[in-house]
Amino acid sequence: MTTIRNPLATKVPLESRAQIHRLDAGLTSVRGAHEIISMISTRRTVTKLILGHNNLGNEGTNVLFRFLESSLGRKYPIAEISLNSNGIRNEGLLAISRYLKGNEELNELFLQANAFTGDPAVTKAFVEALNSSNLEILSLNTNHGLGDVFIEHFLPRLHAPRLRELHISTIGLTPRSVLHIAAFIRSPDRCRITTLKCNGNPLGLRGVKSIIRAIEQANYSLLSEGEGPEDETSVEAWKVCQARLARICVRNGYLRHETRSQALELLRYSRVLLLRSLLRVTDEPLPAPQPKDASDSWHGFAFTTLPTELQLSILSLLAPSLSSSQRSRVFGYAADASTLPSPGLPSLRPREGSSACLPDPSNPGAIPGLGGTSSIWEVNGLTKDAHCSGGRCIGVSNAASCNRDKERQRWLDAIGCSVYEPERS
Protein backbone atom coordinates (compact mmCIF):
# COMPACT_ATOMS: atom_id res chain seq x y z
CA MET A 1 0.00 0.00 0.00
CA THR A 2 1.31 3.41 -0.91
CA THR A 3 1.33 5.89 1.94
CA ILE A 4 0.38 9.42 0.98
CA ARG A 5 2.05 11.94 3.23
CA ASN A 6 0.57 15.27 4.06
CA PRO A 7 3.33 17.82 3.45
CA LEU A 8 2.00 19.91 6.35
CA ALA A 9 1.95 17.05 8.85
CA THR A 10 5.60 17.24 9.87
CA LYS A 11 6.08 20.55 11.60
CA VAL A 12 9.84 20.60 11.94
CA PRO A 13 11.08 24.15 11.33
CA LEU A 14 13.18 24.23 8.20
CA GLU A 15 15.81 26.50 9.73
CA SER A 16 16.30 24.40 12.89
CA ARG A 17 17.88 21.57 10.90
CA ALA A 18 20.77 23.89 10.08
CA GLN A 19 21.29 25.14 13.64
CA ILE A 20 23.43 23.69 16.41
CA HIS A 21 22.19 24.64 19.87
CA ARG A 22 24.51 23.54 22.69
CA LEU A 23 23.76 26.16 25.31
CA ASP A 24 25.15 25.30 28.75
CA ALA A 25 25.97 21.78 27.56
CA GLY A 26 29.16 21.22 29.56
CA LEU A 27 31.43 21.59 26.53
CA THR A 28 34.99 21.93 27.80
CA SER A 29 38.24 22.83 26.08
CA VAL A 30 39.52 20.66 23.19
CA ARG A 31 37.15 17.79 23.90
CA GLY A 32 34.15 20.11 23.68
CA ALA A 33 35.45 21.58 20.43
CA HIS A 34 35.78 18.13 18.86
CA GLU A 35 32.21 17.34 19.88
CA ILE A 36 30.99 20.48 18.11
CA ILE A 37 33.07 19.68 15.01
CA SER A 38 31.57 16.19 14.88
CA MET A 39 28.06 17.63 14.98
CA ILE A 40 28.88 20.09 12.19
CA SER A 41 30.45 17.40 10.01
CA THR A 42 27.32 15.24 10.08
CA ARG A 43 25.11 17.97 8.61
CA ARG A 44 24.74 19.15 5.06
CA THR A 45 24.57 22.77 6.12
CA VAL A 46 24.98 24.79 9.30
CA THR A 47 23.88 28.41 9.66
CA LYS A 48 24.00 28.94 13.44
CA LEU A 49 26.29 27.90 16.29
CA ILE A 50 24.74 28.70 19.68
CA LEU A 51 27.40 27.66 22.19
CA GLY A 52 26.98 30.05 25.10
CA HIS A 53 27.68 29.22 28.77
CA ASN A 54 30.23 26.48 28.18
CA ASN A 55 33.96 26.43 28.93
CA LEU A 56 35.76 26.13 25.60
CA GLY A 57 38.48 28.56 26.70
CA ASN A 58 41.43 29.41 24.47
CA GLU A 59 42.28 25.81 23.65
CA GLY A 60 38.80 24.77 22.55
CA THR A 61 38.26 28.01 20.64
CA ASN A 62 41.54 27.52 18.76
CA VAL A 63 40.59 23.98 17.73
CA LEU A 64 37.04 24.94 16.71
CA PHE A 65 38.04 27.93 14.61
CA ARG A 66 40.97 26.13 13.02
CA PHE A 67 38.36 23.72 11.66
CA LEU A 68 35.95 26.50 10.65
CA GLU A 69 38.62 28.36 8.66
CA SER A 70 39.74 25.18 6.89
CA SER A 71 38.49 24.35 3.39
CA LEU A 72 36.11 21.80 4.92
CA GLY A 73 34.74 24.24 7.48
CA ARG A 74 34.37 27.11 5.03
CA LYS A 75 31.73 25.22 3.04
CA TYR A 76 29.25 25.79 5.89
CA PRO A 77 27.50 29.18 5.50
CA ILE A 78 27.46 30.03 9.20
CA ALA A 79 25.63 33.33 9.71
CA GLU A 80 25.53 33.47 13.52
CA ILE A 81 27.97 32.39 16.23
CA SER A 82 27.29 32.81 19.94
CA LEU A 83 30.19 32.15 22.33
CA ASN A 84 29.17 34.17 25.36
CA SER A 85 30.52 33.04 28.76
CA ASN A 86 33.13 30.58 27.49
CA GLY A 87 36.22 31.79 29.35
CA ILE A 88 37.89 32.90 26.10
CA ARG A 89 40.95 35.11 26.43
CA ASN A 90 43.02 37.07 23.90
CA GLU A 91 44.52 34.01 22.21
CA GLY A 92 41.04 32.74 21.44
CA LEU A 93 40.04 36.16 20.12
CA LEU A 94 42.95 35.98 17.67
CA ALA A 95 41.65 32.62 16.43
CA ILE A 96 38.21 34.16 15.95
CA SER A 97 39.81 37.08 14.09
CA ARG A 98 41.50 34.76 11.60
CA TYR A 99 38.14 33.16 10.79
CA LEU A 100 36.41 36.53 10.60
CA LYS A 101 38.91 38.03 8.16
CA GLY A 102 37.30 38.28 4.71
CA ASN A 103 34.29 36.25 5.89
CA GLU A 104 31.24 37.02 3.73
CA GLU A 105 28.81 34.66 5.48
CA LEU A 106 29.00 35.54 9.18
CA ASN A 107 26.49 38.26 10.12
CA GLU A 108 26.19 38.02 13.91
CA LEU A 109 28.91 37.40 16.51
CA PHE A 110 28.17 37.31 20.24
CA LEU A 111 31.19 37.29 22.56
CA GLN A 112 29.75 38.60 25.83
CA ALA A 113 31.18 37.83 29.25
CA ASN A 114 34.53 36.40 28.23
CA ALA A 115 38.02 37.31 29.48
CA PHE A 116 39.37 39.60 26.77
CA THR A 117 41.70 42.46 27.63
CA GLY A 118 42.51 45.56 25.63
CA ASP A 119 45.84 44.35 24.28
CA PRO A 120 46.68 46.75 21.39
CA ALA A 121 48.08 44.06 19.05
CA VAL A 122 45.08 41.77 19.56
CA THR A 123 42.66 44.67 19.17
CA LYS A 124 44.31 45.75 15.92
CA ALA A 125 44.10 42.23 14.46
CA PHE A 126 40.46 41.94 15.51
CA VAL A 127 39.33 45.29 14.07
CA GLU A 128 41.17 44.68 10.78
CA ALA A 129 39.36 41.35 10.44
CA LEU A 130 36.06 43.02 11.31
CA ASN A 131 36.58 45.70 8.65
CA SER A 132 37.08 43.06 5.95
CA SER A 133 33.99 41.03 6.91
CA ASN A 134 30.23 41.32 6.38
CA LEU A 135 29.47 41.26 10.10
CA GLU A 136 26.32 43.18 11.02
CA ILE A 137 26.00 42.60 14.78
CA LEU A 138 28.90 42.45 17.25
CA SER A 139 28.40 42.05 21.00
CA LEU A 140 31.29 42.49 23.44
CA ASN A 141 29.15 43.24 26.49
CA THR A 142 30.46 42.51 30.00
CA ASN A 143 34.06 41.90 28.97
CA HIS A 144 35.21 43.92 31.95
CA GLY A 145 38.90 43.68 31.06
CA LEU A 146 38.61 45.59 27.78
CA GLY A 147 38.41 49.09 29.22
CA ASP A 148 39.54 52.41 27.77
CA VAL A 149 42.65 50.98 26.13
CA PHE A 150 40.48 48.77 23.92
CA ILE A 151 38.32 51.68 22.74
CA GLU A 152 41.46 53.78 22.16
CA HIS A 153 42.75 51.24 19.61
CA PHE A 154 39.42 49.87 18.35
CA LEU A 155 37.16 52.79 17.39
CA PRO A 156 39.74 54.94 15.52
CA ARG A 157 40.43 51.93 13.24
CA LEU A 158 36.83 50.74 12.90
CA HIS A 159 35.59 51.06 9.31
CA ALA A 160 33.13 48.21 8.78
CA PRO A 161 30.43 49.36 6.31
CA ARG A 162 28.15 46.39 7.00
CA LEU A 163 28.21 46.71 10.81
CA ARG A 164 24.77 47.75 12.09
CA GLU A 165 24.90 47.01 15.83
CA LEU A 166 27.77 47.43 18.28
CA HIS A 167 27.27 46.33 21.89
CA ILE A 168 29.94 47.54 24.34
CA SER A 169 27.96 47.70 27.59
CA THR A 170 29.78 47.15 30.89
CA ILE A 171 33.31 46.81 29.51
CA GLY A 172 34.98 49.12 32.00
CA LEU A 173 34.89 52.39 30.09
CA THR A 174 35.47 55.74 31.82
CA PRO A 175 35.19 59.37 30.64
CA ARG A 176 38.54 58.82 28.89
CA SER A 177 36.69 56.90 26.16
CA VAL A 178 34.16 59.65 25.41
CA LEU A 179 36.48 61.45 22.98
CA HIS A 180 36.94 58.29 20.86
CA ILE A 181 33.23 57.39 20.95
CA ALA A 182 32.17 60.90 19.92
CA ALA A 183 34.80 61.06 17.16
CA PHE A 184 33.56 57.75 15.73
CA ILE A 185 29.94 58.90 15.84
CA ARG A 186 30.86 62.11 14.03
CA SER A 187 32.46 60.20 11.15
CA PRO A 188 29.69 59.39 8.62
CA ASP A 189 32.12 57.52 6.38
CA ARG A 190 33.00 55.07 9.17
CA CYS A 191 29.94 55.03 11.43
CA ARG A 192 26.97 53.35 9.72
CA ILE A 193 25.66 51.57 12.81
CA THR A 194 22.01 51.94 13.77
CA THR A 195 22.37 50.63 17.35
CA LEU A 196 25.07 51.45 19.89
CA LYS A 197 24.69 49.87 23.32
CA CYS A 198 26.98 51.42 25.90
CA ASN A 199 25.13 50.96 29.20
CA GLY A 200 26.89 50.21 32.45
CA ASN A 201 29.99 52.27 31.72
CA PRO A 202 30.62 55.21 34.09
CA LEU A 203 31.03 57.84 31.37
CA GLY A 204 29.47 60.55 33.51
CA LEU A 205 26.71 63.01 32.67
CA ARG A 206 29.11 65.35 30.87
CA GLY A 207 30.43 62.47 28.76
CA VAL A 208 26.93 61.31 27.83
CA LYS A 209 25.98 64.86 26.85
CA SER A 210 29.03 65.01 24.57
CA ILE A 211 27.97 61.77 22.88
CA ILE A 212 24.38 62.98 22.43
CA ARG A 213 25.67 66.26 20.98
CA ALA A 214 27.79 64.31 18.48
CA ILE A 215 24.75 62.29 17.38
CA GLU A 216 22.58 65.39 17.06
CA GLN A 217 25.11 67.37 15.04
CA ALA A 218 26.76 64.81 12.81
CA ASN A 219 25.10 61.39 12.88
CA TYR A 220 21.99 60.26 10.99
CA SER A 221 22.37 56.48 11.21
CA LEU A 222 21.83 55.77 14.92
CA LEU A 223 18.27 54.72 15.74
CA SER A 224 18.95 53.30 19.21
CA GLU A 225 21.61 54.27 21.72
CA GLY A 226 21.52 52.68 25.15
CA GLU A 227 22.56 54.94 27.99
CA GLY A 228 21.48 55.11 31.59
CA PRO A 229 22.54 56.64 34.89
CA GLU A 230 25.80 55.16 36.18
CA ASP A 231 26.50 57.60 39.01
CA GLU A 232 24.77 59.76 41.61
CA THR A 233 23.86 62.51 39.13
CA SER A 234 20.31 63.83 39.36
CA VAL A 235 17.74 61.45 37.90
CA GLU A 236 16.02 64.45 36.32
CA ALA A 237 19.20 65.34 34.42
CA TRP A 238 19.37 61.81 33.03
CA LYS A 239 15.71 61.96 32.00
CA VAL A 240 16.39 65.15 30.05
CA CYS A 241 19.29 63.45 28.25
CA GLN A 242 17.23 60.37 27.46
CA ALA A 243 14.33 62.44 26.10
CA ARG A 244 16.71 64.43 23.91
CA LEU A 245 18.31 61.25 22.63
CA ALA A 246 14.91 59.71 21.88
CA ARG A 247 13.97 62.73 19.74
CA ILE A 248 17.24 62.46 17.80
CA CYS A 249 16.65 58.75 17.14
CA VAL A 250 13.13 59.49 15.86
CA ARG A 251 14.60 62.11 13.53
CA ASN A 252 17.20 59.66 12.25
CA GLY A 253 14.58 56.96 11.73
CA TYR A 254 12.39 59.27 9.64
CA LEU A 255 15.30 60.53 7.53
CA ARG A 256 16.55 56.97 7.01
CA HIS A 257 13.15 55.83 5.74
CA GLU A 258 12.83 58.81 3.40
CA THR A 259 16.35 58.34 2.03
CA ARG A 260 15.88 54.65 1.29
CA SER A 261 12.42 54.95 -0.26
CA GLN A 262 13.36 57.98 -2.37
CA ALA A 263 16.54 56.30 -3.62
CA LEU A 264 14.53 53.29 -4.80
CA GLU A 265 11.89 55.53 -6.39
CA LEU A 266 14.55 57.60 -8.13
CA LEU A 267 16.19 54.46 -9.51
CA ARG A 268 12.89 53.21 -10.91
CA TYR A 269 12.27 56.29 -13.07
CA SER A 270 15.90 57.12 -13.80
CA ARG A 271 16.51 53.64 -15.17
CA VAL A 272 13.80 54.05 -17.81
CA LEU A 273 14.43 57.66 -18.77
CA LEU A 274 18.23 57.83 -18.64
CA LEU A 275 18.77 54.57 -20.51
CA ARG A 276 16.33 55.77 -23.14
CA SER A 277 18.34 58.98 -23.44
CA LEU A 278 21.52 56.94 -23.76
CA LEU A 279 19.99 54.95 -26.62
CA ARG A 280 19.17 58.17 -28.45
CA VAL A 281 22.81 59.22 -28.25
CA THR A 282 24.46 55.90 -29.09
CA ASP A 283 21.93 54.38 -31.49
CA GLU A 284 19.42 55.46 -34.06
CA PRO A 285 16.88 58.01 -32.84
CA LEU A 286 13.75 56.50 -31.37
CA PRO A 287 10.56 57.29 -33.32
CA ALA A 288 8.72 60.33 -32.06
CA PRO A 289 5.34 59.61 -30.44
CA GLN A 290 2.40 60.10 -32.79
CA PRO A 291 -0.42 62.41 -31.75
CA LYS A 292 -3.77 60.81 -31.00
CA ASP A 293 -5.43 63.24 -33.35
CA ALA A 294 -3.69 64.22 -36.61
CA SER A 295 -5.27 67.65 -36.41
CA ASP A 296 -3.79 68.20 -32.97
CA SER A 297 -0.63 70.31 -33.12
CA TRP A 298 0.67 68.93 -29.80
CA HIS A 299 3.06 66.02 -30.35
CA GLY A 300 3.82 65.06 -26.75
CA PHE A 301 6.62 65.98 -24.40
CA ALA A 302 9.90 64.36 -25.49
CA PHE A 303 11.76 64.25 -22.15
CA THR A 304 14.75 62.46 -23.66
CA THR A 305 15.42 65.30 -26.08
CA LEU A 306 16.14 67.69 -23.23
CA PRO A 307 19.75 68.47 -22.27
CA THR A 308 21.11 65.93 -19.81
CA GLU A 309 21.56 68.53 -17.07
CA LEU A 310 17.89 69.49 -17.31
CA GLN A 311 16.79 65.83 -17.27
CA LEU A 312 18.76 65.22 -14.08
CA SER A 313 17.42 68.39 -12.51
CA ILE A 314 13.84 67.27 -13.15
CA LEU A 315 14.49 63.74 -11.86
CA SER A 316 16.08 65.18 -8.71
CA LEU A 317 12.66 66.49 -7.69
CA LEU A 318 11.66 62.86 -7.00
CA ALA A 319 14.27 62.61 -4.22
CA PRO A 320 14.52 65.87 -2.28
CA SER A 321 15.92 64.13 0.82
CA LEU A 322 18.95 62.76 -1.04
CA SER A 323 22.16 64.74 -1.23
CA SER A 324 23.59 65.74 -4.60
CA SER A 325 26.26 63.05 -4.35
CA GLN A 326 23.67 60.38 -3.50
CA ARG A 327 21.51 61.37 -6.48
CA SER A 328 24.58 61.34 -8.72
CA ARG A 329 25.39 57.79 -7.65
CA VAL A 330 21.82 56.65 -8.37
CA PHE A 331 21.90 58.37 -11.78
CA GLY A 332 25.24 56.75 -12.60
CA TYR A 333 23.92 53.30 -11.71
CA ALA A 334 20.63 53.82 -13.57
CA ALA A 335 22.36 54.98 -16.76
CA ASP A 336 24.85 52.09 -16.78
CA ALA A 337 23.51 49.39 -19.11
CA SER A 338 25.96 46.87 -17.64
CA THR A 339 23.96 46.84 -14.38
CA LEU A 340 20.86 45.51 -16.14
CA PRO A 341 19.90 41.84 -15.65
CA SER A 342 21.10 39.41 -18.29
CA PRO A 343 18.91 39.47 -21.41
CA GLY A 344 16.46 36.68 -22.02
CA LEU A 345 13.12 35.58 -20.70
CA PRO A 346 12.81 35.30 -16.91
CA SER A 347 12.48 31.82 -15.48
CA LEU A 348 9.28 30.95 -13.68
CA ARG A 349 11.20 28.68 -11.33
CA PRO A 350 14.32 29.45 -9.32
CA ARG A 351 17.59 28.25 -10.77
CA GLU A 352 19.95 26.04 -8.82
CA GLY A 353 21.92 28.15 -6.38
CA SER A 354 19.83 31.26 -7.00
CA SER A 355 18.70 33.62 -4.26
CA ALA A 356 15.00 32.92 -4.77
CA CYS A 357 12.92 33.02 -1.60
CA LEU A 358 11.39 30.05 0.17
CA PRO A 359 7.59 29.68 0.33
CA ASP A 360 5.92 30.18 3.68
CA PRO A 361 4.79 26.67 4.76
CA SER A 362 2.13 28.22 7.00
CA ASN A 363 0.39 29.64 3.91
CA PRO A 364 -1.42 26.80 2.07
CA GLY A 365 -1.90 29.09 -0.93
CA ALA A 366 1.83 29.04 -1.47
CA ILE A 367 2.08 25.28 -1.91
CA PRO A 368 0.95 23.61 -5.16
CA GLY A 369 -1.81 21.07 -4.65
CA LEU A 370 -3.00 22.64 -1.39
CA GLY A 371 -4.96 25.53 -2.76
CA GLY A 372 -1.95 27.19 -4.33
CA THR A 373 -1.06 27.77 -7.92
CA SER A 374 1.15 25.50 -9.95
CA SER A 375 4.14 27.66 -9.14
CA ILE A 376 4.78 30.29 -6.48
CA TRP A 377 7.66 31.80 -8.45
CA GLU A 378 6.00 34.72 -10.17
CA VAL A 379 7.75 36.66 -12.91
CA ASN A 380 6.85 40.01 -11.40
CA GLY A 381 6.62 38.82 -7.83
CA LEU A 382 6.91 42.07 -5.88
CA THR A 383 3.99 43.02 -3.68
CA LYS A 384 3.21 46.51 -2.50
CA ASP A 385 5.30 45.68 0.59
CA ALA A 386 8.26 44.83 -1.68
CA HIS A 387 8.28 41.16 -0.77
CA CYS A 388 8.52 38.48 -3.42
CA SER A 389 6.41 35.51 -4.48
CA GLY A 390 3.18 37.44 -4.30
CA GLY A 391 3.70 38.04 -0.59
CA ARG A 392 3.93 34.33 0.17
CA CYS A 393 7.63 33.98 1.00
CA ILE A 394 8.73 33.34 4.58
CA GLY A 395 10.23 36.83 4.73
CA VAL A 396 6.72 38.25 5.03
CA SER A 397 6.06 36.29 8.23
CA ASN A 398 9.49 37.28 9.60
CA ALA A 399 10.51 33.62 9.72
CA ALA A 400 13.55 34.51 7.67
CA SER A 401 14.84 37.45 5.72
CA CYS A 402 13.30 37.93 2.29
CA ASN A 403 16.07 37.64 -0.29
CA ARG A 404 14.60 40.56 -2.22
CA ASP A 405 14.99 42.65 0.93
CA LYS A 406 18.60 41.51 1.29
CA GLU A 407 19.41 42.40 -2.32
CA ARG A 408 17.75 45.77 -1.89
CA GLN A 409 19.77 46.43 1.27
CA ARG A 410 23.00 45.45 -0.49
CA TRP A 411 22.21 47.89 -3.29
CA LEU A 412 21.43 50.72 -0.87
CA ASP A 413 24.69 50.06 0.98
CA ALA A 414 26.73 49.90 -2.22
CA ILE A 415 25.24 53.10 -3.62
CA GLY A 416 25.55 54.92 -0.28
CA CYS A 417 21.83 55.53 0.19
CA SER A 418 21.04 53.49 3.30
CA VAL A 419 21.54 56.53 5.57
CA TYR A 420 20.56 60.19 5.26
CA GLU A 421 23.45 62.30 4.03
CA PRO A 422 23.26 66.08 4.50
CA GLU A 423 24.60 68.36 1.81
CA ARG A 424 28.22 69.26 2.42
CA SER A 425 29.13 72.88 1.94
pLDDT at 376: 36
Average pLDDT over residues 398-402: 51
Res. 284: pLDDT tops 90 = no
Residues paired with 195 in a beta bridge: 165, 224
Read off the pLDDT band of 235 (50, 70, 90): confident
H helices, E strands: number in the chain: 11, 8
Contacts of 36 by beta carbon, 8 Å cutoff, 6+ apart: 20, 22, 27, 49, 51, 64
* Whether the predicted pLDDT of 146 surpasses 70: yes
Q: What is the pLDDT of residue 377?
A: 37
> Does the pLDDT value for residue 382 go beyond 70?
no
Domain boundaries along the sequence of the chain: 16-257
What local confidence, expressed as pLDDT, does residue 297 receive? 46
Q: pLDDT > 90: what percent of the chain?
A: 64
- Homologous superfamily of 16-257: Ribonuclease Inhibitor (3.80.10.10)
Mean pLDDT of 35-48: 96
Q: List the one residue out of 142, 70, 140, 82 whose CA is nearest residue 106.
A: 82
- Residues with Cβ < 8 Å from 112, sequence gap 6 or more? 84, 85, 139, 140, 141, 142, 143, 167
Q: How confident is the model at residue 303 (pLDDT cuts 50, 70, 90)?
A: confident
Q: How far apart are CA 223 and CA 158, in angstroms?
A: 19
For residue 298, pLDDT over 50 is answered with no
Interatomic CA distance for residues 50 and 97, integer angstroms: 18
Question: CB under 8 Å to 387, separation ≥6 — which residues?
Answer: 357, 393, 395, 396, 402, 404, 405
Confidence tier at 274 by pLDDT (50, 70, 90): confident
What is the chain's mean pLDDT, rounded? 83
pLDDT in tens, 334-353: 999 888 876 554 444 444 44
In angstroms, the CA 395 to CA 357 distance is: 8
- The 10s digit of each residue's pLDDT in 194-220 is 999 999 999 999 999 999 999 999 999
The percent of residues in the chain predicted with pLDDT above 70, rounded, is: 73
pLDDT at 288 over 60: no
pLDDT for the residue numbered 345: 44
